[in-house]
Amino acid sequence: MVLIGLGSNQGASVAIVLAAMEALLEFAVPSSFSRSRLWQTSPVDCPPDSDTFVNAAVCFEARAGLTPEKLLRELKRLEAEFGRGKKLVRNAPRELDLDLLVYDQQLRDTEMFTLPHPRAIDRLFVLAPVAEIAPSLIWPGTEQSITELLDALDTNEEAIPLAEPATGS
């Protein structure tokens, strides 16, 4: 199973995240795609006065021939298509942020990226949406499910589900 976290806090964030979810269908075995609701979340480790985020998550089985490296390149391409420019300031406002969180139980630790995503299990804005679509998934390198990780999380972050309901396709 592939897990991707989505976020936006610049521009028409709700529309951007919904459109990005649709764009991610191209990488999935069609019947395997699930997506969370949209969540309004507080900015974490962002510059002062950063707006709240719209976050979500999707999970799916990857199409044949897709590797984590290929998928990461495609995620960066999609971010650019949605208007994300080069990062000048860490965690600066952005139209779209796509994070490859998990790719099956594969592990990577390269200059390009780390799998599973190294900070995801410490973030409410990741775990809350993921818990909707993959609550029993065991996070690679731990013996804990997403639900267990979420229950154990100690944070002052805020995450409020938006009215738009979760669906699988």
**Strands, E assignment, 19-136:** 34-35, 39-41, 53-60, 97-103, 108-109, 114-115
- pLDDT tens, residue by residue, 90-146: 556 678 999 999 999 899 999 888 999 999 999 999 999 999 999 999 999 899 999
For the annotated catalytic residues, the residue numbers are: 84, 94, 97, 99
Q: How confident is the model at residue 42 (pLDDT cuts 50, 70, 90)?
A: confident
The pLDDT, as a whole number, for residue 75 is 96
pTM, entire model: 0.90
Region of 34 please: left (phi>0), alpha (psi -120 to 50) or beta. Answer: beta
CATH code of the domain covering residue 135: 3.30.70.560
The pLDDT, as a whole number, for residue 89 is 52
d(CA 36, CA 163): 12
Cα angle, residue 55 at apex, residues 80 and 69 outer, rounded to 5°:
45
d(CA 166, CA 38): 8
- pLDDT tens, residue by residue, 20-41: 999 999 999 989 999 999 999 9
- pLDDT tens, residue by residue, 44-78: 877 677 788 999 999 999 999 999 999 999 999 99
d(CA 115, CA 82): 24
Residue 25 structure tokens: 């269908």
Residue 130: domain span: 2-168
CA pseudo-torsion sign 75, 77, 82, 87: positive
- Within 8 A by CB and 6+ apart from 58, the residues are 3, 4, 6, 21, 24, 33, 34, 35, 36, 133
Number of domains in the chain: 1
- Within 8 A by CB and 6+ apart from 35, the residues are 21, 56, 57, 58, 133, 166, 167, 168, 169
Question: Which helix (H) or strand (E) covers residue 24, if one does?
Answer: helix 13-24
